[in-house]
Amino acid sequence: MIHEIEAKKLLITNKHPSSWFGVKYYLNIYRGCMHGCIYCDTRSECYGIDNFDTDISVKINSIELLKKELSSKRYRETIGFGSASDPYVPIEKHYELTKQALNIARDLRFPLFLLTKSNMVIRDTEIISQINKQNYACVAFTITTADDNLAKVIEPHAPSPSERLKAMSILSVMGIKTGIVIMPVLPYITDTEENITNIVKQAKLHDADFVYPAFGVTLRDRQRDYFYSKIDEETKKKYIDRYKNYYQCTSPNYRKLKSAFMSSCREYGISPEMPSYAKANSAVQLGLW
């Protein structure tokens, strides 16, 4: 069910930009997500979304809020699209609020970092390219597996990894910095050296600038319950035996995975680090252009 709501505030200030791709401000135009990923942290109780996959809230006044809030900022620091919800959930085709928000970021000359699991982003390549030319833009795609069949199980309603990779190539050809975020890496499911090295290889083949991993998954309360309901009993038992009720569930293959990842990055000439632009260059005072 789709709910149109009036938000009181849109931008959230990140106190530690260097920890999240240099993003100073981030926003979520939609609450809830339609991609159905079985591991999504935003199902956790702390986010207050009871029916995360089925009740989607649209902040219908997002554009007015964004204009007002960005206009009051003294410095043009990086805006992050995509944290608790994907900016390109399917209903974006109808509402086009992400597209309008990108236009606002361009008009006010703010740099951009966008994280998505959707190839719908190519609809907005012209706007993103304009942001990139006047300031800076980076688009990262979450890819947890390069296997379309496995992705259909763990990310059932998201565009396939192959579709995301094709979209990444299109953006890269336009001179936009692109990359892959391998988050999460699911213990006993996607935590194989073959999977990790294949993703890095695909990054190279599709012109990525960087790949950034996290070799594990976080699990808590409702999120954990949902995840366990979607995996087989044998795998569930492995999780319970090893992680109990821990929030951080690091892959037991962590050292091997990290070693294989770094070797692949060196082999293919891919950076294993997140973009550093915003930390050094984003604090441009308004009114100086």
Residue 72 sits in which domain range? 2-270
CATH code of the domain in which 143 resides: 3.20.20.70
Q: Look at residue 14 in the predicted model and tell me its pLDDT.
A: 87
Which residues on adjacent β-strands are paired with residue 179? Answer: 140, 210
Backbone angles phi, psi at 206, to 5 degrees: -110, 20
Number of domains present in the structure of the chain: 1
Report residue 275's pLDDT band, with 50, 70 and 90 as the boundaries.
confident
Q: Residue 281 is inside which H or E element, if any?
A: helix 277-281
Is 282 contained in some domain? no
Distance CA 37, CA 277 (A): 30
Helices then strands (H, E): number in the chain? 11, 14
Rounded-to-integer distance, Cα 84 and Cα 150, Å: 23
pLDDT classification of 18: cutoffs 50, 70, 90: low
**Residue 288 pLDDT > 50, yes or no?**
no
The answer to which of 16-30, 33-47, 263-277 has the lowest mean pLDDT is: 16-30
**pLDDT tens-digit profile of 168-212?**
999 999 999 999 999 999 999 999 999 999 999 999 999 999 999
Residue 177 domain-assigned?
yes
Predicted confidence (pLDDT) at residue 285 exceeds the cutoff of 60: no
Name every residue whose Cβ is closer than 8 Å to that of residue 51 and which is 6 or more positions away in sequence.
Answer: 32
Task: Outline where 108-213 has alpha helix (H).
Answer: 125-134, 148-154, 161-173, 193-205
Q: Which helix (H) or strand (E) holds 12?
A: strand 12-13
What is the model's pTM? Answer: 0.93
pLDDT in tens, 61-95: 999 999 999 999 988 999 999 888 899 999 999 99
Domain-embedded: residue 207: yes
Backbone phi, psi, residue 180, to 5° = -120, 135
Q: How far apart are alpha carbons 285 and 101 in whole angstroms?
A: 21
> Minimal CA–CA distance to 31: which of 20, 46, 15, 42?
42
pLDDT band at 282 (very low <50, low <70, confident <90, very high): very low
Of 25-34, 154-163, 211-220, 251-260, the range with the lowest mean pLDDT is 25-34
- The C-alpha angle 273, 167, 179, rounded to 5 degrees, equals 0
Residue 284 lies in a domain: no
Question: Is residue 264 included in any domain, yes or no?
Answer: yes
- Identify whether 76 is part of a domain: yes
Residue 208 inside a domain? The answer is: yes
pLDDT of residue 284: 41
Domain assignment of residue 148, yes or no: yes
Residue 169 C-beta-side C-alpha neighbours within 13 Å: 11
